[in-house]
Each structure stands twice: as structure tokens, then as C-alpha cells.
Chain A
Amino acid sequence: MTSLELFSTIQNSGLGIFIGRQDRMLWAIAQIIHIVGIILVLAPIVLISLRLFGFGLYQQALPKLAKESEKLIWLGFALLAFSGLLIFIPAALHYHDNPVFWIKIYLIAAALFIQLTLYRVITKLEKPNPWLARITAVITLVLWFGVAFAGRFIGFV
């Protein structure tokens, strides 16, 4: 099955047709849930990056800060996935032709990969190597900010 066939099946599924029939304000609500999710993911990433750079909360133990903010990140990601699917499913074919949509998908995959590997390993350490800490912060910030930027661009391409 090609991606085009898959996207067509998604859009023309019972769920796709059902969501597509709802009032336009449902999209607005989905978009609001989406932006709340963005804040819940990006704000902890920014905060932990400040800590990794030594710019803020440097007296606090890194693992404890990271562990508590991780809950917010995953709550935010769950909201993003839920609202994102609501927006995507009824218009899957529309997104299929949009190159920025695919860039966003790849960036999300890369950001999640780093989140579960490098970021997780480094933020578990009491005193990570300062340069490794900074590199982790930069990569994580670039990828998640990239996801946000790509998301903003989708509607303009």
C-alpha cells in the first residue's frame, strides 16, 4: 500500500467522514488543545535547556528537575497527538501533498528519538559533561522548535 492509498483510506474511513462533518469550531477547539500541548512540551524543554547550559536553576539537581518536567512533556505530547489526529484524519489527502507536513513528521520522529535516547541519558546524570549537556540542549531545542516552525508553515505552503 502506498502512502497515498493509506492517507486516502484514513480520510474516507468512518471516523474521517464523521470528524469531517463536524462544525468548524471543532477545528478551533482542536487547535487550542494543540497550542496548549505545544506550550506543555516546549516550556519544559526550554527550562531544562537553561539548566543544561547553566543559565538557570543551576543550584538544583538536574535529574529531579528533568523527571518532574518529563511528566509535563508527555502530557503535552499526548494532547498534541490527540488534537493533531483530529485535525489530520479528515483532511489526510490535503496534507499528503504538502511537503512541509512531511518535514514536520520527520522532525517529530527525530525529536522523539533524541528525547528517548540522548536527552534521557544526559538528564539522568547529576553532573553531565558540560559540552555534552550543551550539545543535548541545542539538538533538543532545534528539533522541537523545528517541529513548531514546520507546523506554522504547513498552512502557508
Chain B
Amino acid sequence: MSVLTFAELLYDSEIGTSLRESLFAFPIVEGMHLIGLALSVGLLFFIDLRIVGVVFRHVPIPQILQQLRPWLLGGFAITMATGALLFVSEATKMIELPVFLWKLFFILLAGLNAAWFELKWGRKVAHWGHAPVLPVGVKFAAWASLGLWSLVVITGRLIPYLSYN
């Protein structure tokens, strides 16, 4: 089955159709997508900004990393679930939209960056988290996270403006 056929299948599915045709379901899901964004990307940015030394320099990195992790992961679960619903309702249009594909690409890169950070640094934060000078890789991952998630948000917001030509 081709990607396009699959997108058509999603578009025509019961859930895709009811979302598209309901007066309130679509904006409610979009509102939740936005709240999820504040929790996920919002809290993640706090950790990134702490690592690069912009905010909360008095808060130990292991503390902010470990205590915010469950909340931002919960936020990502909300963002991903509502994002999937929004995609299903517009699947046939989205799958051919370059800006949406760019958004997916940036999500993939941001996800890989997060996984790499988590495996290489996140698990042993106690070893480096209190050092006066942080490992270069840690700072790189934080800047990459800030840049990539910003691109995800920007390309996401551009979707309605680049899809009605």
C-alpha cells in the first residue's frame, strides 16, 4: 500500500471524518495540541536554557533534569496524540504538503538528538551535572534541541498558511 493510499484510508476513516466534520472537536484537539506544546517543548526549553546557562543558574542540572522529565514526557504524549488526530483528519492534504514533511523531518532530528542525549548523558547526569564546565556534547545537544524544536513549532504554525494556495 502506498503512503498516499494509506493517507486516504486515514482521511476516510470514522475518526478522521468525525473530527473534520465536528464543529468543536477540531479546535478542542488543536487547543490540547497547544497546551501539550507548552508542557513538552516549554519545559524542555527550560532544561536546555539551564544547560546553556541562560536561566536558573543556581538550580543543579540533575535536579531540573530529573524533576521535569516526567512532566515534559507527559506533555509530549499529549502533543503527539493530538498531533496524530489532527493529521488523520487532514491526512490526504498533509502528506503532500512540503512544510508538513519538513516538520516531520525536524521532529525526527529533534527526537534523535534527545535519544542521543538521554543515552550518552542523561542517564549519568550525576557524573557531569555538577561540574563547573559542562561537556561540549551536553551543550551541543541543548543548543540543537532549542534550534530543532523551534523549527518544529515554526513549520507547524506555517502549515495553514502554506496549504491554501
Interface string of B34-51 (1 = CB under 8 A from A): 110111011101100000
* Number of residues of chain B lying within 8 A (CB) of chain A: 31
Q: How far is the CA of A125 from the CA of B38 in the complex (A)?
A: 26
**From DSSP, what is the main secondary structure of chain B's interface residues?**
helix
- The CA of A60 and the CA of B62, in the complex, are separated in Å by 13
Interface residues of B in 26-66 (CB under 8 A from A): 26-27, 30-31, 34-35, 37-39, 41-43, 45-46, 55-56, 58-59, 63-64
User: B43, A47: Cβ atoms under 8 Å?
Assistant: yes
Instruction: Report if B1 contacts A (CB, 8 A).
Output: no
Interchain CB contact (< 8 A) of B63 among A32, A38, A57: A57
Nearest B-chain residue to A56, judged by Cβ? B67
Known contacts A35-B153, A36-B153, A43-B45, A50 near B71 by CB under 8 Å: yes
Smallest Cβ-Cβ distance to A152: which chain B residue: B31
The answer to whether B153 touches A55, judged by C-beta atoms less than 8 angstroms apart, is no
Is the CB of B158 closer than 8 A to any CB of chain A? yes
Residues of B with C-beta under 8 A to A59: 63
Number of chain A interface residues as a range: 20 to 34
Contact call B157/A156, Cβ cutoff below 8 A: no
Determine whether the beta carbon of B56 is less than 8 Å from that of A65. Answer: yes
Q: Does B97 contact A (CB under 8 A)?
A: no
Q: In the complex, are the beta carbons of B43 and A24 less than 8 A apart?
A: no
User: How far, in whole Å, are A59 and B68 apart by their CA atoms in the complex?
Assistant: 13
Does the CB pair B27–A24 fall under 8 Å? no
Q: How far is the CA of A39 from the CA of B50 in the complex (A)?
A: 16
Q: Kindly list chain A residues whose C-beta atoms are within 8 Å of the C-beta of B24.
A: 156
